[in-house]
Every structure is written in C-alpha cells, then in structure tokens.
Amino acid sequence: MEPDVKLNATGVLLAGGKSSRMKKNKALLKLEDQPLVKRSLAVLQAVFAEVLISSNNPELYARYEVPVIQDEILNRGPLEGLYQGLKAATYDKVFFVACDMPFLEAGLIRFLAKWVPEYDIVVPRLQSGPHPLHAFYHRRCLPAIKRNLEAGCLKVSDLGPSCSVRYVEETELQAFDNLSKVFCNVNTPEDWLAVLKE
C-alpha cells in the first residue's frame, strides 16, 4: 500500500490517564514547541481514515477538531478506553496508542496493520516486553473486554487467553531504526528530561 493511502481503520489516541507520576497532563507536554497530542494526531491522521481521542476531559482537545470519546465508567484504566474506542470506531480494525509516546513511526504502524484482521490483537514485542498500548485490536475483542471489565480484570495484557494474538517480535521490526526511541514512553519527569535531551 502506498504511504499516502490511508488505512480503512481507526486510530485512537489514549489520553485518559491520570499522569500521576508526571504530576501534569502528559498529552500536553511540549516537544519542539508542539504538544505531544498534536504530534501523535499528525501521525495517526496521516495513517488512518478515522482518528479519535479517548479522554474524560474533552475540553482540553477541542482545538484539534477530533471526536473525543469518554469512559462510561471511570477508574477502569486503559481497558475501558479500548472498550469505548472499539464501540465508537467506524472500522473493525482499531489501532490504540498511548499519548505519551513522542516518536511514533507511521511506517511501523502500517507494518503492524498487515496482520489485521487475521488476528484479534497485533502487538509489537521488544526484548523489553510487549507494547499493548501501541497495538491493533479488532472489534471481535469487544465481548472479551466486556467480560474482563465486569470481572474487574483490568490489565490489557490479560486479554490474551480470550483473543487470538499476533506478537510481532523485535527481530521482525529490524527494518525500522531506533526501536527503543520509537517505543519510548514518558511516565516520570526523569523520562521527560531524557526525551528533551535527545
């Protein structure tokens, strides 16, 4: 597929976290004078036919003119964001990504898409571990997510036994440079300082 052809899929930016360790909204941190939310939306809008933001503070993102979906039940973490995102999406294939990843790579996201819809979930897995909040989820996951939410099982990684998962290993991603940078996420002020120094 040509790089300028948008995927018939939905991209969802997860911006609903409490940012408790950062002490400020991570989505609004500025890198090169741009909020992280704006940087991420630019990548998602270049890749996907539809883009949504998941946040319980829609007023913070009104300027970006992107639909904002909210949790129905608060304090259920990113799994609730996945649930509402899959329900709201126009397309069956939905890419979810956390708002605290400053260096998204459009080509890598497109690369991951090739395993959808053969699998319910497509997750990149580096030596440091899997990245379930930089991953594709098919609408077929909705029943499993609903069951887990109702059972209070809120870890996104616990969906594995109920859904077919394709882990895309680090060795399969060697065509992409600097994977540690692409998959870095900022949780603490120290993480953010390290990003600013790059």
Amino acid at position 122, single letter: V
Distances in Å between the alpha carbon of 97 and those of 5, 52, 197?
Answer: 20, 11, 23
* Cα diameter, the chain: 43
Q: Cα 190 to chain center, whole Å?
A: 22
Least confident of 44-53, 92-101, 129-138, 151-160: 151-160
Model confidence at 189, pLDDT cuts 50, 70, 90, reads: confident
* pLDDT bracket for residue 3 (50, 70, 90): low
For 135, counting Cβ atoms within 10 Å of its Cβ (0-12 exposed, 13-18 middle, 19+ buried), the class is: buried
Distance of CA 184 to CAs 42, 49, 170, Å? 18, 25, 14
Q: Is the peptide bond before 117 cis (omega within 30 degrees of 0)?
A: yes
Strands 7-14 and 48-54: parallel
Partnered with residue 95 across adjacent β-strands are 11, 136
Whole-structure pTM value: 0.93
Domains of the chain and any CATH numbers: 7-197 (3.90.550.10)
pLDDT tens figures, 110-160: 999 999 989 999 999 999 999 999 999 999 999 999 999 999 999 998 887
Whole-angstrom Cα distance, residue 131 to residue 183? 8
> Which amino acid type is present at position 25?
N
Q: Is 23 left (phi over 0), alpha (psi -120 to 50) or beta?
A: left
Give the distance from CA 117 to its chain's centroid: 17
Which has more pLDDT, 55 or 30? 55
